[in-house]
Amino acid sequence: MDCSHKNMTNLPAQMLPKTEHLIMTGNNLQTLQNVDPSLRTLNKFSLQNSNIRFISDEALTIFTFKTDELNLSGNKLKQVSRKLHGTLNGTKLWLADNPFECNCDMMWMADWLQNASNVIDRYKIQCADGKWKGELLIFFLKLCLSVSEMMKNQFVFHQEQI
């Protein structure tokens, strides 16, 4: 079902029988929260460039139930839920061209992106803020892990000196 560029603000309330693909490219969805459970039957979601700022954990669970592909690229996501990496189960995922915040609170993503071969564009996901703007998120988060480990080692060294 192709609902591209229709200036829609919500996902369709009902799907045609046997619909397997939902293409919502170029809409104005902004928030995906109360998603109809009937969408579990879809195996491909194309939601790129739809101004999505927030996706609830409930929506992620529905999107990844049977989904083979989930395209969230080109939206306005500043971060993603930790639940995302636990619910994918092999789903191909696109996340590039979102304004991700780069801070050490997202360190969990470093590990995930390093090993997530199903995140097709993982080496194109960039930081969108501050002095890290334009840096690859996967490498910025590795830096957070390195600094965190260094600080832990420095604390242990200081304790041993006392």
- DSSP states of 14-54 as a string? S--TT--EEE-TT----EE-S--GGGGG-SEEE-TTS---E
* Count of domains observed in the chain: 1
Q: What are phi and psi of 133, to 5 degrees?
A: -55, 130
Does 41 score more than 60 pLDDT? yes
10 located within any domain: no
Burial of residue 146 (CB within 10 Å: 0-12, 13-18, 19+) is exposed
15 located within any domain: no
Q: Can you tell me the mean pLDDT for 82-107?
A: 82
34 located within any domain: yes
What is the structure's pLDDT at 156? 46
146 located within any domain: yes
pLDDT, the chain, mean: 82
Tell me the residue range of the domain where 86 lies: 21-161
Does 107 score more than 90 pLDDT? no
What is the structure's pLDDT at 51? 97
Does 155 score more than 50 pLDDT? no
What is the reported pTM?
Answer: 0.83
Does 6 score more than 90 pLDDT? yes
The CATH number that applies at residue 121 is 3.80.10.10
Using alpha carbons, select from 76, 31, 81 the residue that is nearest to residue 57.
Answer: 81
pLDDT in tens, 132-146: 788 888 877 667 766
Using alpha carbons, select from 25, 31, 20 the residue that is nearest to residue 6.
Answer: 25
